[in-house]
Structure 1
């Protein structure tokens, strides 16, 4: 078990890097959230010269407990308290309480084994929702399934996919949105000083009979600077410039240009993140 967990973490990291290359950090979700370890993080986001949000996030961890507090520019305060306890071998239980929006509180149970994993969570709202996620495989290839069941509504979501990964490449085929969306993606990494990565994604929506083809690339200009770009067959071009001014202070600039909407100004996003 001790040897399998590092391999699972590495596979999870590779899959996350592939997903981030094709979707994360651009204008539409520009620095909407920043994950931190223990400490205080300040994030401010500006788009097209218009200030959108400012968030102060604090996280404290002690033994098996974590406390997250978020205060935003709209004077909203929310807190999440998590407890991690290993009651049985290969299992972990997490209880999370969010305030003042207590309806999003949840109870989560995780089971990890050498070749499979099972995660279930119960959202404690007026219409409780049960979320189920399961995977089976090894660090090289895995089959995953997700489903959401709500009281009185039955299954509102079910996805299935197969993922393959190694240090140089990641590939996946996913059937999502109740079998309405088919998505296939591939990312290749070039291990050199610039750490260049290129990827492509094809999606097919059966309900509206639409295909989308996206290509993306990223590179590390230096130790503190990263560039990302993606473009699809609908004429949308997204770019992202991320620079760490200091180890705990970063600047992010993103842009979005739509070739089919030349009468509109390109969208530009600016974000500053500071961790104390």
Structure 2
């Protein structure tokens, strides 16, 4: 459905990715392998301060069905089974975690030429309900999302947004935080190598404004440099290099000008795909 609108969650995604994607201020290692039988294996390790986290993720694909199983260092097991085209233009997924017996969730995604609908329901006696929808086209999309907690009979969220996309720029406007804030984002491709993005948020209750601006520049076909500045005094820099096909090394750093006694944050990410 390339001519249809993106799901609501993807409205404004291009600007968000430039400002946040791949920034990491810890030590992270990822090894991904894909077998010829449709089985994929990904091992991830993350060191944050003096604590180490890790998980092993196995993905098996057979026809229209995908089974995703993840086991972490705390012996938690997460499983997700996804079936494509169970109904025309749809995707159905069921997920759960062990030992959390209340974590089950059923998701239904539907794509149409002029609409994209995502819904989910918790598989427990007092489930959380979520629904998001977007209508329009690949160039212009209007949508919203709601979340409802049946245990307290209250809405957990309700947001709305509109996005406009062209090959060289994208703009989005959202009403968020249950109508308490408005957020606008914009990204523009200056040339084939350089893009700039900005995001601004205004909160009606406190009259507080916040903004973040950033840039991305391809130094060469294998190296990308990104920068980010926020009104809270934080500045970040990222350099990502593809040192072998599909294998990336990323160095990130962030400096907080309001914490002059704190050392800048440094992060290193190594992603290997043999």
TM-score bracket relative to the smaller structure = 0.7 to 0.9
Partners of 1:92 and 1:69 in 2: CA distance: 18
Partners of 2:5 and 2:242 in 1: CA distance: 25
Give the drift of 1:191.
Answer: 4.2
Residue equivalent to 2:3? 7
The structure-2 alpha-carbon separation of the partners of 1:185 and 1:110, relative to structure 1 and needing over 3 Å to count, comes to same
Give the drift of 1:34.
Answer: 9.9
Residue equivalent to 1:273? 271
Residue equivalent to 1:169? 169
User: Residues 26 and 268 of structure 2 are in contact (CA less than 8 Å); yes or no, is this contact kept in structure 1?
Assistant: no
The structure-2 alpha-carbon separation of the partners of 1:79 and 1:46, relative to structure 1 and needing over 3 Å to count, comes to closer
Partners of 1:45 and 1:116 in 2: CA distance: 38
Instruction: State the Cα RMSD in Å.
Output: 2.9
Partners of 2:109 and 2:186 in 1: CA distance: 28
What is the SS of the residue equivalent to 1:20? Answer: helix
Partners of 2:69 and 2:110 in 1: CA distance: 28
Give CA deviations for 1:164-196 in whole Å, capped at 9, x if unaligned: 11110010001111111211011001342xx21
Residue equivalent to 2:106? 107
Unaligned runs of 5+ in 2: none
Equivalent residue runs for 1:200-215 within 5 Å: 200-215=198-213
The structure-2 alpha-carbon separation of the partners of 1:83 and 1:214, relative to structure 1 and needing over 3 Å to count, comes to closer
Give the drift of 1:101.
Answer: 3.3
What is the SS of the residue equivalent to 1:133? Answer: strand
Larger CA deviation: 147-156 vs 16-25: 16-25
237, 244, 247: which one aligns with 2:245 = 247
Partners of 1:88 and 1:64 in 2: CA distance: 12
User: Residues 31 and 43 of structure 2 are in contact (CA less than 8 Å); yes or no, is this contact kept in structure 1?
Assistant: no
Give CA deviations for 1:190-228 in whole Å, capped at 9, x if unaligned: 342xx2110111111233332112110012222222211
TM-score by length of 2: 0.85
User: Residues 41 and 275 of structure 1 are in contact (CA less than 8 Å); yes or no, is this contact kept in structure 2?
Assistant: no
TM-score by length of 1: 0.84
Give the drift of 1:36.
Answer: 9.1
Larger CA deviation: 50-59 vs 179-188: 50-59
Partners of 1:263 and 1:228 in 2: CA distance: 25
The structure-2 alpha-carbon separation of the partners of 1:245 and 1:57, relative to structure 1 and needing over 3 Å to count, comes to farther
Larger CA deviation: 139-148 vs 36-45: 36-45
Equivalent residue runs for 1:189-228 within 5 Å: 189-192=189-192, 195-228=193-226
Larger CA deviation: 147-156 vs 56-65: 56-65
Partners of 1:75 and 1:94 in 2: CA distance: 25
Larger CA deviation: 150-159 vs 88-97: 88-97
Residue equivalent to 1:61? 61
Larger CA deviation: 236-245 vs 258-267: 236-245
1:118 lines up with 2:117 in the alignment: yes
User: Residues 41 and 273 of structure 1 are in contact (CA less than 8 Å); yes or no, is this contact kept in structure 2?
Assistant: no
Residue equivalent to 2:24? 27
Q: Whose helix fraction is larger, Structure 1's or Structure 2's?
A: 1
Give CA deviations for 1:129-163 in whole Å, capped at 9, x if unaligned: 11000111111111110110011322110110000
Give the drift of 1:13.
Answer: 7.6
Partners of 1:159 and 1:133 in 2: CA distance: 9
1:16 lines up with 2:13 in the alignment: yes
Give the drift of 1:75.
Answer: 3.7
